[in-house]
Amino acid sequence: MPRCKAENLWLELGDLEKTRSRVFRCAGIYGPNRNALATLRDRKAGNINDSKLVSRIHVGDLCRGIHASMTSSIAARKRVYNMADDLPASREEVFSYAKRLGSFSEGDTDLSTRTRRDKSRSSKRVNNARLRNELITDLVYPSYVEGLKDLENQCIW
């Protein structure tokens, strides 16, 4: 079933039940054990030379947004939220930053010969304005930089 059809059916169900219904469109989710640092550590990065822009969200901010939607006083019954941070970035940018942050040597991260299946030829940037205006005005991790830095500082990558 196409995504939009499923979303519309879910929102219609909220109408039938006379309750609020929410759809959360999640960007690339990262956090402990699922992030660029862990991927480099485990040598599973594949091709990191991908320059397409992709939106991401730290699992902590994702949970905060979902919780905020459940406790929100927003009267609208139907809402669709793009759950993403403020800075779409390429895989190349994220892994370059992770290499520096994690003090990986070039030999540790020379994975360019490995290939990764290309899921899409287009960038995957989303607008998070509704999330920021209605649910979370202050993301703890507004970009991958803060998210990876926190994971590194807590040694939970």
Mean pLDDT per block of 10 residues along the chain (157 residues) reads 90 90 95 94 81 95 95 84 97 94 71 50 84 95 97 85
pLDDT of residue 114: 46
- Looking at the DSSP bridge assignments, the partners of residue 78 are 21
pLDDT tens digits, 73-90: 877 889 999 999 999 999
Q: pTM, whole model, 2 decimals? A: 0.85
* Contact predicate 131/81, CB 8 Å: yes
What's the CA gap between 50 and 13, in Å, rounded? Answer: 40
The helix (H) or strand (E) run that includes residue 83 is: strand 78-83
Query: What's the maximum distance between 2 C-alpha atoms anywhere in the chain?
Result: 58
